Structure 1
Amino acid sequence: MTLKDLADSLGVSTATISNAFNRPDQLSPKLREHILTEARRLGYAGPDAKARSLRTGRSRIVAVILAESLTFSLNDAVASELLSGIAEVLDAHGHTLLLLSGRQTLAQPPGSASIADGYIVYGLMPRLQLLADLPTERPLVPVDFDIENHASVHVDNEPAAYAIARHALARQPKRPAVINLRLIEQPCNGRITSQHALLPAHQTITRARLAGFQRAFANAGIDASQVPMWNIEENTYEVCAPVIEEVLDLPPGERPDLLLCMSDRIALTALTLAEQRGLRIPEDLRLTGFDGIAEGQYRAPRLTTVRQDSVEKGRVAARMVLGLEPAEPRRLTTELLIGETCP
Structure 2
Amino acid sequence: MPPSSRRITLKDLAARLGISTATVSNAFNRPDQLSPALRERILREAKAMGYSGPDAKARSLRTGRSRIIAVVLAESLTYSLNDAVASELLSGIAEVLDAHSHTLLLVSGRHHANRIPDSASIADGFIVYGLMPNLKMLADLPPQRPLVAVDFDIESCPTVHVDNEPASYAIACHALSSLPQRPAVINLRLTEQPCNGRITAEHRLLSAEYTITRHRLIGFQRAFKEQGIDPAQVPMWNVEENTFEVCVPVIEEILDLPKDQRPDLLMCMSDRIALTALTLAEQRGLRIPEDLSITGFDGIAEGQYRAPRLTTVRQDNVAKGRLAASMILGKEPMAPHRLETELIMGQTCPRPA
TM-score normalised by length of structure 2: 0.92
Work out the CA distance in 1 between the residues paired with 2:345 and 2:264: 18
Give the aligned partner of residue 161 of structure 1: 168
Which SS does the other structure have where 2:267 is aligned? strand
2:203 aligned with 1:205, yes or no?
A: no
Give the aligned partner of residue 49 of structure 1: 56
Deviation at 1:60, TM superposition (A): 1.5
Indicate which of 87, 90, 95 corresponds to 1:88.
95
1:24–1:93 CA contact under 8 A, matched in 2: no
2:326 aligned with 1:330, yes or no?
A: no
Give the aligned partner of residue 190 of structure 1: 197
2:278 aligned with 1:276, yes or no?
A: no
Give the aligned partner of residue 4 of structure 2: none
Corresponding residue pairs, total: 343
Work out the CA distance in 1 between the residues paired with 2:203 and 2:212: 18
Deviation at 1:45, TM superposition (A): 2.7
Give the aligned partner of residue 110 of structure 2: 103
1:258–1:287 CA contact under 8 A, matched in 2: yes
Give unpaired runs (5+ residues) of structure 2.
1-7
2:69 aligned with 1:69, yes or no?
A: no
Give the aligned partner of residue 235 of structure 2: 228
Deviation at 1:322, TM superposition (A): 1.5
Deviations 1:235-290, CA, capped at 9 Å, x for gaps: 01111111101111111111111111000000000001000110000100000000
1:227-306 aligned within 5 A: 227-306=234-313
Which 10-residue stretch deviates more, 217-226 or 140-149?
Answer: 217-226
2:183 aligned with 1:176, yes or no?
A: yes
2:144 aligned with 1:142, yes or no?
A: no
Deviations 1:58-83, CA, capped at 9 Å, x for gaps: 22111111101111111111111111
Deviations 1:30-67, CA, capped at 9 Å, x for gaps: 65445434544565432232321221122211111110
2:112–2:137 CA contact under 8 A, matched in 1: no
2:77–2:108 CA contact under 8 A, matched in 1: yes
Deviation at 1:198, TM superposition (A): 1.0
Deviations 1:148-180, CA, capped at 9 Å, x for gaps: 010011111111111111111111111111100
TM-score normalised by length of structure 1: 0.94
Indicate which of 2, 18, 27 corresponds to 2:25.
18
Which 10-residue stretch deviates more, 39-48 or 235-244?
Answer: 39-48
Give the aligned partner of residue 312 of structure 1: 319
Aligned-pair identity in percent equals 77
1:25–1:92 CA contact under 8 A, matched in 2: no
> Judging changes above 3 Å, is the alpha-carbon distance between structure 1 residues 198 and 28 closer, same or farther for their aligned structure 2 residues?
farther
Which SS does the other structure have where 2:206 is aligned? coil
Root mean square deviation of aligned Cα: 1.8
Deviations 1:193-235, CA, capped at 9 Å, x for gaps: 2221111212101011111111111222222111111111100
Deviation at 1:126, TM superposition (A): 5.3
Give unpaired runs (5+ residues) of structure 1.
none
Work out the CA distance in 2 between the residues paired with 1:163 and 1:28: 51
> Judging changes above 3 Å, is the alpha-carbon distance between structure 1 residues 335 and 136 closer, same or farther for their aligned structure 2 residues?
same
Which SS does the other structure have where 1:331 is aligned? strand
Which 10-residue stretch deviates more, 108-117 or 27-36?
Answer: 27-36
1:24–1:92 CA contact under 8 A, matched in 2: no
2:113–2:137 CA contact under 8 A, matched in 1: no
Deviations 1:175-197, CA, capped at 9 Å, x for gaps: 11110001111111111122211
Which SS does the other structure have where 2:106 is aligned? strand
Deviation at 1:10, TM superposition (A): 5.4
Amino acid at match of 1:238: E
Give the aligned partner of residue 135 of structure 2: 128
Deviation at 1:109, TM superposition (A): 2.1
2:312–2:343 CA contact under 8 A, matched in 1: yes
Amino acid at match of 1:240: C
